[in-house]
Amino acid sequence: MSESEQRILEERTSEAEKEVKAIEDELDRISKGDLSFTGDAQLEKLLSENEKLKHRLAILENAVKEEGSKGKAKSNTQAESSDEIVKKVAKKRPTLITDISSVEGNICILDELKNVFEAAITSAYPDLEDPPVVITLSGNNPKFGDYQCNSALAISQLLKAKSVKTNPREVANNILNKTPTSPIIEKIEVAGAGFLNIFINKKLAEHILNCILRFGIKPPPVKKERVIVDFSSPNIAKEMHVGHLRSTIIGDSICRILEFLNHDVLRINHLGDWGTQFGMLIAHLQDEFPDFKTHSPPISDLQAFYKESKKLFDTNEEFKKRAYACVVQLQSGKPDYIAAWKLICEVSRREFQKIYDRLDIKIIDRGESFYHSRMHIIVKELKDKGYLEEDEGRLIMWGDPVKRDGIPLTVVKSDGGYTYDTSDMATIKQKVEEEKGDRFIYVTDAGQNTHFVTIEACARRAGILKKDQKIENVVFGVVLGEDKKKFKTRSGDTIKLIALLDEGLKRSLDKLIEKGRDKVLSPEELKQAQEAVAYGCIKYADLSHNRVNDYVFSFDKMLDDKGNTAVYLLYALTRIRSIARTAQISLDTLLEEAQKSDFTLSHEAEWKLAKVLLRFPEVILKVSKDLYLHSLCEYLYEISSAFTEFYDRCYCIEKDKEGKIVKVFYNRLMLCEVTARVMEKSFDILGIKTVSKM
Ligand code: ARG
pLDDT tens figures, 429-471: 999 999 999 999 999 999 999 999 999 999 999 999 999 999 9
> How many whole angstroms from 150 Cα to the centroid of ligand 1?
43
> How many whole angstroms from 454 Cα to the centroid of ligand 1?
15
Closest residue by Cα to atom 3, ligand 1, is 234
Closest residue by Cα to atom 6, ligand 1, is 233
Choose the final residue of a domain: 75, 92, 109.
92
Decide: 121 and 155 in contact? Cβ < 8 Å. yes
Give the DSSP per-residue string, 616-682.
HHHHHHHHHHH--THHHHHHHHHHHHHHHHHHHH--SEEE-TTS-EEEE-HHHHHHHHHHHHHHHHH
Verify that 659 and 569 share a domain, yes or no: yes
Verify that 62 and 159 share a domain, yes or no: no
Q: How many domains does the chain have?
A: 4
Verify that 85 and 118 share a domain, yes or no: no
Which tens digit of pLDDT belongs to each residue from 373-395?
999 999 999 999 999 999 999 99
Using CB distances shorter than 6 Å, the residues near ligand 1 are: 230, 233-235, 270, 272, 424, 427, 442, 444
Amino acid occupying residue 485:
K
Mutating to test ligand 1, I would choose from 345, 448, 458 the residue with most ligand atoms within 8 A of its C-beta, which is 448
More confident residue, 301 or 455: 455
For β-strands 394-397 and 389-391, DSSP reports them as antiparallel
Helical spans, DSSP H, in 105-241? 109-124, 151-161, 168-178, 202-215
Verify that 84 and 112 share a domain, yes or no: no
Spatial separation of the C-alpha atoms in residues 424 and 468, rounded to whole Å: 20
Q: How many CB atoms lie within 10 A of CB 444?
A: 23
Verify that 75 and 107 share a domain, yes or no: no
Closest residue by Cα to atom 5, ligand 1, is 233
Decide: 562 and 568 in contact? Cβ < 8 Å. yes
Choose the final residue of a domain: 31, 62, 92.
92
Verify that 71 and 139 share a domain, yes or no: no
Decide: 220 and 107 in contact? Cβ < 8 Å. yes
Residue 218 lies in a domain: no
Task: Tell me the whole-structure pTM to 2 decimals.
Answer: 0.85
Verify that 22 and 77 share a domain, yes or no: yes
Which tens digit of pLDDT belongs to each residue from 213-224?
999 999 999 999
Mutating to test ligand 1, I would choose from 229, 230, 232, 233 the residue with most ligand atoms within 8 A of its C-beta, which is 233
Is 26's pLDDT higher than 80?
A: no
For residue 517, give the CATH number of its domain: 1.10.730.10
More confident residue, 79 or 653: 653
Spatial separation of the C-alpha atoms in residues 686 and 477, rounded to whole Å: 19
Q: Which domain holds residue 521?
A: 499-685
Verify that 545 and 617 share a domain, yes or no: yes
Residue 680 lies in a domain: yes
Confidence at residue 19, expressed as pLDDT on a 0 to 100 scale: 60
Choose the final residue of a domain: 340, 361, 382.
361
Residue 238 lies in a domain: no
> How many whole angstroms from 464 Cα to the centroid of ligand 1?
20
Verify that 130 and 16 share a domain, yes or no: no
> How many whole angstroms from 233 Cα to the centroid of ligand 1?
5
> How many whole angstroms from 114 Cα to the centroid of ligand 1?
39
Task: Find the mean pLDDT for residues 519-542.
Answer: 96
> How many whole angstroms from 272 Cα to the centroid of ligand 1?
7
Residue 233 lies in a domain: no
Decide: 151 and 121 in contact? Cβ < 8 Å. yes
Question: What DSSP state is assigned to residue 38?
Answer: T
Mutating to test ligand 1, I would choose from 271, 277, 427, 444 the residue with most ligand atoms within 8 A of its C-beta, which is 444
Residue 224 lies in a domain: no
Residue 180 lies in a domain: yes
For residue 153, give the CATH number of its domain: 3.30.1360.70
Which tens digit of pLDDT belongs to each residue from 225-280?
999 999 999 999 888 999 999 999 999 999 999 999 999 999 999 999 998 899 99
Verify that 80 and 180 share a domain, yes or no: no
Verify that 616 and 559 share a domain, yes or no: yes
Task: Find the mean pLDDT for residues 52-65.
Answer: 52
Verify that 660 and 528 share a domain, yes or no: yes
Which tens digit of pLDDT belongs to each residue from 34-47?
444 344 555 555 55
Write the CB contacts of 650 (distance below 8 Å, at least 6 apart in sequence): 603, 605, 606, 665, 668
Spatial separation of the C-alpha atoms in residues 260 and 664, rounded to whole Å: 34
Residue 481 lies in a domain: no
> How many whole angstroms from 451 Cα to the centroid of ligand 1?
10
| Mean confidence (pLDDT) of the chain | 89
Nearest to 180 by CA among 107, 119, 89, 124: 119
Q: How many CB atoms lie within 10 A of CB 334?
A: 14
Binned at pLDDT 50, 70 and 90, residue 140 comes out as confident
Task: Find the mean pLDDT for residues 172-198.
Answer: 96
Residue 188 lies in a domain: yes
> How many whole angstroms from 269 Cα to the centroid of ligand 1?
9
